[in-house]
């Protein structure tokens, strides 16, 4: 059985998230998703929704076998516990694949890193939380 881990913030679920997780699920037999804790999100604005709510929304998706809230101090703790065969990165996630592979190897985690494919552009699809928020502000404020 091939176990896949995907991870992200997943603030305001959108078609890009669903595509990423569906793509990740196709890489193996079981998909575990690690949802970042708000305090660990440093590369973009703080999430709108709580970690508990974001985890519950991700867990409700049919392609997800189990969703986990990330560790408050060490992002590798849930990865060590799950012991995946594959880590699926989103096509536009900011991770340095070589650096991540070194960090995994240093912790004795032997798994493959793959990138998900991008969501094909469609005129009526908002593929990011930022774009959804911008549209809400434009239309409601």
Average pLDDT, the chain: 93
For residue 30, give both structure tokens.
Answer: 């079981």
pLDDT value of position 92: 85
138 is in an annotated binding site: no
pLDDT value of position 119: 86
117 is in an annotated binding site: no
9 is in an annotated binding site: yes
List domains and CATH numbers for the chain.
3-140 (3.40.50.620)
d(CA 17, CA 107): 28
15 is in an annotated binding site: yes
d(CA 87, CA 84): 7
Please write the tens of the pLDDT for every residue from 84-109.
999 999 988 888 899 999 999 999 99
78 is in an annotated binding site: no
d(CA 52, CA 37): 9
16 is in an annotated binding site: yes
124 is in an annotated binding site: no
Please report how many Cα atoms fall inside a 13 Å half-sphere around the Cα of residue 54, on the Cβ side.
25
């Amino acid at each position: 059985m091939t176990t896949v881990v995907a991870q992200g913030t997943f603030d305001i679920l959108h078609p890009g998230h669903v595509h990423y997780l569906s793509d990740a699920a196709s890489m193996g037999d079981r998909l575990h998703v690690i949802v970042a804790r708000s305090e660990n999100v440093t590369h973009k604005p703080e999430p709108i929704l709580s970690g508990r709510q974001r985890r519950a929304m991700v867990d409700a998706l049919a392609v997800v076998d189990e969703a986990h809230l990330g560790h408050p101090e060490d992002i590798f703790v849930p990865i060590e516990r799950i012991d995946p065969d594959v880590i699926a990165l989103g096509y536009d996630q900011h991770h340095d694949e070589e650096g991540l592979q070194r960090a995994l190897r240093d912790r004795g985690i032997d798994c493959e890193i793959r990138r998900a494919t991008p969501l094909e552009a469609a005129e009526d699809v908002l593929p990011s939380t930022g774009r959804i928020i911008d549209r809400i502000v434009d239309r409601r404020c």
